[in-house]
Amino acid sequence: MPVRLDRLLTLWLFQPLRRSVWKTGGFRLPVLMYHSVSDESEAGVPPYYRTSTSPRAFAGHMALLRAHGFQTVSLKTGLRMLRGEDAAREKSVVLTFDDGFRDFRTAAFPVLRQYGFNATVFLTTAFVGQKPDRFKMRECLTWGDVRELQQAGMEFGSHTVNHSMLVDLAWKDVEKEVRVSKAEIEQHLGERVISFAYPYAFPSLRTDFVGRLGRLLRETGYECCVTTDIGSASAASDAFAIPRLPVNGDDDVNLLEAKLDGGYDWMAAPQRLFKTLKQWRRFRGGINPSGN
C-alpha cells in the first residue's frame, strides 16, 4: 500500500508540533465534510480525493467522537458560536454531508440517531424529487426522505441546483443556482435555509468572484457558505468562506483524531500552493483566470 503523505506528515510532524509548540488559543470548530456513506469502490482514486466512507468506517468515526466527548452541533448553532452569539462549547463538531445522497438516510442516519448526533446535509435540488433520482451514479434523497430527516433533527442547506462549476458560469446563471435551490428547499421544508455549500474546489484565489458570491449569498438570505478549503473554523473565519476538514473511509481513527484536534490544518498551505500553481498554468496556457 502506498504511503499517504498527508497522513504521515500529520501524525509524525504537524500534530506533535501543534501540541507541543503551536498551541493556539481561542475557540476552533472542526466542520467535517462527508459525501457518500457506502461500500462503493473507489479503486484508482488516490485516498486524499475519495468521497466515500464505508458504513463500518463511518460507525467507527462516530464511536470516536463519542469516546472523546465530542458533541455535534448544527451548522446554524456552530455559526452562532463563532459569532459569539452562543457560548462556545469545547469538543463541539459540525458534521456536513454534500450532494444529498440517499445513503445518508439508509447508512449514516441510523448511526447518528444511535449516538444522538445531528448533521447538516447539502442538497443539489435538481436531483431531489418525489422518487429517487441519480447523481454521480448514486441515488439521491427524495423530498419525502428530506422531510422525515428534518423532523428527526437534521438540518438542510443548498448545494446549488445542478452542482455546476459556478466560477465558470455567466453571472445570471450563478444567481439562478443560488436563488432557485434555496427557494425550492424552503418551499418543501417550510423553514428558512441559511447555509450554502460551494460545489467543487472553492476558487479562493479569485477574490473578485469570492467577494461577489458572498454579497449575492448575503442578499439572498444565506448566513454562511462552507467550502472545500481545508482547516478548522474560528471567530476569524469569513462566514461566507468557512473551511472544512475532508473525511473519507481511508481516515483511520488516528488521522481523524488529528483532524479534530487541529493537526491537519497545516494542509491549507499546500492546498493554496497547488491552487496557485494551477492558476498560473491556466494563465500560461492562455486561459484568462479573471472569469465572468
Rounded-to-integer distance, Cα 240 and Cα 193, Å: 14
Number of domains in the chain: 1
**pLDDT-derived band of residue 241, with 50, 70 and 90 as boundaries?**
very high
Asked whether residue 281 is assigned to any structural domain, the reply reads no
**pLDDT given for residue 252 in this prediction:** 95
Asked whether residue 58 is assigned to any structural domain, the reply reads yes
Render pLDDT for 125-158 as a digit per residue (tens, 0 to 9): 999 999 999 999 999 999 999 999 999 999 999 9
**CATH code of residue 121:** 3.20.20.370
Asked whether residue 154 is assigned to any structural domain, the reply reads yes
Asked whether residue 292 is assigned to any structural domain, the reply reads no
Rounded-to-integer distance, Cα 212 and Cα 146, Å: 30
Q: Where are the alpha helices (DSSP H) in 24-139?
A: 55-67, 75-83, 103, 109-115
Asked whether residue 157 is assigned to any structural domain, the reply reads yes
**pLDDT given for residue 152 in this prediction:** 97
Q: What is the dihedral of CA 162, 192, 33, 133, to 10 degrees?
A: -40
Render pLDDT for 50-86 as a digit per residue (tens, 0 to 9): 999 999 999 999 999 999 999 999 999 999 999 999 9
**pLDDT given for residue 292 in this prediction:** 41
**pLDDT given for residue 43 in this prediction:** 86
Asked whether residue 194 is assigned to any structural domain, the reply reads yes
Query: Does residue 182 carry a pLDDT above 60?
Result: yes
Render pLDDT for 185-232 as a digit per residue (tens, 0 to 9): 999 999 999 999 999 999 999 999 999 999 999 999 999 999 999 999
Q: What is the dihedral of CA 46, 36, 66, 26, to 10 degrees?
A: 70
Count helices and strands in the chain by DSSP H and E runs: 11, 14
Asked whether residue 13 is assigned to any structural domain, the reply reads no
Rounded-to-integer distance, Cα 109 and Cα 218, Å: 30
Averaged pLDDT of the chain = 93
Closest to 90 (Cα-Cα) out of 62, 77, 71, 108: 71
What letter does residue 11 receive in the DSSP assignment?
I
Query: Does residue 1 carry a pLDDT above 80?
Result: no
Q: Where are the alpha helices (DSSP H) in 70-170?
A: 75-83, 103, 109-115, 143-151
Mean pLDDT of 170-177: 98
Q: Which residue has the higher pLDDT, 276 or 179?
A: 179
Q: Print the domain residue range for 169.
A: 25-265
Asked whether residue 241 is assigned to any structural domain, the reply reads yes
